[in-house]
């Protein structure tokens, strides 16, 4: 474990512990200010004078959201924030020292929060306009959205720098943050118990991460020895421990970041409102209002933290298809991408690719991010073809074998793609793929062509049978 990882883990542990104390502040305005001041301190500790970057972004976005036309402000926020993200990662070309790695994490989370807030405000304005054009019994969900998000300048500042998730996320909406401050949910939710439930898996993931890193260091894949003395099969196999290390590291970090939320009580909602990861309550808003206004009902309600549920290791490991397993990984960010990018694009064959490109751009400017994330768009059509026409509907032992085969190829595909995420540069990434002859690209293309031919042959055979009948 390097120094960056130690600092990262230490600050997350501090944030988890501090969550217990922040809940002791029953006066909500005091809780808000204390949380923000601690959040600013955390950002300063990891950033130093580079804290100017998140401060500038928050200032400009606050001005956009507060002063511009609410029905169009999101596109300006999106353009500015992602444009600044590109500048932030190329500051050395402008004679400005490159920010520390942890400041990059702060900036990534801030991008999601500020752009997401602009879309919340925009959706609120659009919903209000629709509600005015309808009868008084307009859709309840529209009324709820219209009433929920109208922050002032300082509200945006507090949301951006509250200590909960300021370093690593998970992403949560402004409404969720506002509910944390102004509802009694955190006072009655099982914050400590939920935190312990999540943390019990941490020793396992950390020990697996440290053990695998010791025996299979990622930097070895960049060494001359790796290419000169290792066989094709060893180089191909090395994608597995590399991807395993990556998963264990991410599981550990995301579980700890979830615990920062659970210990502070942020993201707690009544189970009856069917909270959704990233979004919050999805139904029964009338009950939500009742629980807020009735102390006795608030005490009796059953709560969960699904709103900030960001990683499902079991689903990520064992769901057979890539399309479905992706929904178990960085769940709150998947929600952000779906709501703020994918669903706002025209319905065509390119919106999945555009969404993946935005995800890659958000991660960084290294070619490895794009090669890893955007290559998903090449694999999904192959998987979809075989699942739809050959494995779907199979039961019994045949179904289990089919699921295993799909899972095996999904794991190989992700391992093959993910190694470029570590190698980063286009030179190192293509050097590695070239050393194994781009075998997975070739295999996917071959499988796709064979699958298309087989599907056409099956359709032709079925048509001939129908004619003979």
**pLDDT string in tens for the chain (469-residue length):** 677 778 888 999 999 999 999 999 989 999 999 999 999 999 999 999 999 999 999 999 999 999 999 999 999 999 999 999 999 999 999 999 999 989 999 999 999 999 999 999 999 998 888 877 765 444 444 444 434 778 999 999 999 999 999 998 899 999 999 999 999 999 999 999 999 999 999 999 999 999 999 999 988 999 999 999 999 999 999 999 999 999 999 999 999 999 999 999 999 999 999 999 999 999 888 888 899 999 999 999 999 999 999 999 999 999 999 999 999 999 999 999 999 999 999 888 788 889 999 999 999 989 999 999 999 999 999 999 999 999 988 888 999 999 999 999 999 999 999 999 999 999 999 999 999 999 999 999 999 999 999 999 888 887 777 676 6
Which tokens belong to 254? 């995301």
E runs forming strands in 160-218:
none
The pLDDT score that the predictor gives to residue 143 is: 44
Q: Is the dihedral of CA 32, 34, 37, 40 positive or negative?
A: negative
Q: Give residue 1's pLDDT.
A: 65
pLDDT value for 128: 84
Question: In the chain, what is the straight-line distance between the N-terminal and C-terminal CA atoms, in Å?
Answer: 68
Predicted pLDDT of residue 137:
47
- The predicted pLDDT at position 142 comes to 43
Question: Across the strands, what pairs with 349?
Answer: none
- Tally of CB atoms within 10 A around 39: 21
What's the pLDDT score for residue 338? 95
Q: What is the predicted pLDDT for the residue at 349?
A: 74
Active-site residue numbers?
330, 363
CA 244 from chain centre, in angstroms, equals 19
What gap in Å lies between CA 236 and CA 223, rounded to an integer? 15
Tokens for 227? 């290419």
Neighbours of 175 (CB within 10 A): 20
What is the model's pTM?
Answer: 0.92
Contacts (Cβ under 8 Å, ≥6 apart) of 364: 89, 104
**Model pLDDT, residue 469:** 62
Residues 6+ apart with CB under 8 A from 367: 420, 424, 425, 426, 429
Residue 427 is encoded by which pair of tokens? 């030179």
Which SS3 state, helix, strand or coil, does residue 89 take?
coil
219 conformational bin, left if phi > 0, alpha if psi -120 to 50, beta if neither? alpha
pLDDT at 43: 97
CA distance 461 to 467: 10
């Amino acid at each position: 474990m390097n120094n960056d990882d130690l600092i990262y883990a230490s600050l997350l542990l501090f944030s988890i512990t501090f969550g217990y104390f922040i809940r002791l502040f029953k006066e909500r305005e005091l809780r808000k200010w204390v949380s923000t001041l601690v959040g600013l301190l955390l950002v300063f500790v990891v950033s130093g004078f580079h804290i100017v970057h998140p401060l500038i972004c928050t200032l400009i976005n606050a001005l956009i959201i507060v002063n511009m036309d609410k029905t169009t402000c999101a596109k300006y926020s999106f353009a500015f924030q992602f444009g600044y993200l590109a500048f932030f990662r190329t500051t050395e070309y402008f004679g400005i020292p490159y920010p520390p790695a942890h400041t990059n994490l702060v900036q990534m989370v801030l991008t999601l929060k500020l752009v997401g807030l602009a879309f919340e405000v925009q959706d609120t304005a659009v919903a209000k306009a629709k509600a005015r054009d309808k009868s008084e019994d307009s859709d309840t969900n529209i009324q709820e959205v219209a009433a929920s998000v109208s922050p002032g300048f300082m509200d945006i500042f507090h949301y951006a720098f509250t200590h909960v998730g300021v370093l690593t996320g998970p992403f949560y909406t402004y409404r969720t943050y506002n509910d944390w401050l102004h509802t009694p949910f955190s006072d009655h939710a099982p914050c400590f118990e939920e935190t312990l439930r999540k943390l019990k898996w941490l020793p396992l993931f950390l020990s697996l991460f440290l053990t695998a890193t010791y025996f299979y260091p990622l930097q070895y894949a960049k060494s001359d020895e790796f290419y000169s003395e290792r066989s094709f099969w060893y180089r191909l196999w090395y994608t597995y421990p590399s991807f395993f290390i990556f998963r264990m590291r991410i599981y550990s970090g995301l579980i700890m970041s979830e615990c920062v939320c659970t210990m502070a009580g942020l993201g707690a909602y009544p189970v009856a409102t069917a909270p959704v990861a990233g979004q919050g309550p999805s139904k029964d808003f009338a009950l939500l209002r009742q629980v807020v206004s009735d102390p006795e009902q608030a005490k009796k309600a059953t709560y969960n933290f699904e709103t900030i549920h960001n990683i499902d290791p079991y689903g990520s490991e064992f769901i057979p298809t890539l399309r479905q397993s992706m929904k178990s990984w960085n769940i709150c960010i998947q929600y952000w991408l779906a709501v703020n990018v994918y669903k706002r694009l025209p319905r065509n064959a390119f919106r999945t690719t555009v969404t993946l490109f935005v995800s890659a751009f958000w991660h960084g400017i290294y070619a490895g991010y794009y090669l890893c994330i955007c290559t998903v768009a090449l694999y999904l059509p192959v998987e979809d073809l075989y699942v739809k026409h050959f494995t779907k509907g199979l039961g019994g032992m045949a179904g289990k074998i089919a699921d295993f085969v799909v899972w095996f190829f999904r794991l190989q595909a992700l391992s093959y793609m993910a190694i470029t995420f570590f190698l980063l540069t286009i030179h190192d990434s293509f050097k590695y793929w070239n050393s194994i002859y781009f075998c997975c690209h070739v295999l996917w293309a071959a499988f796709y062509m064979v699958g298309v031919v087989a599907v056409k042959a099956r359709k032709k055979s079925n048509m001939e049978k129908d004619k003979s009948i």
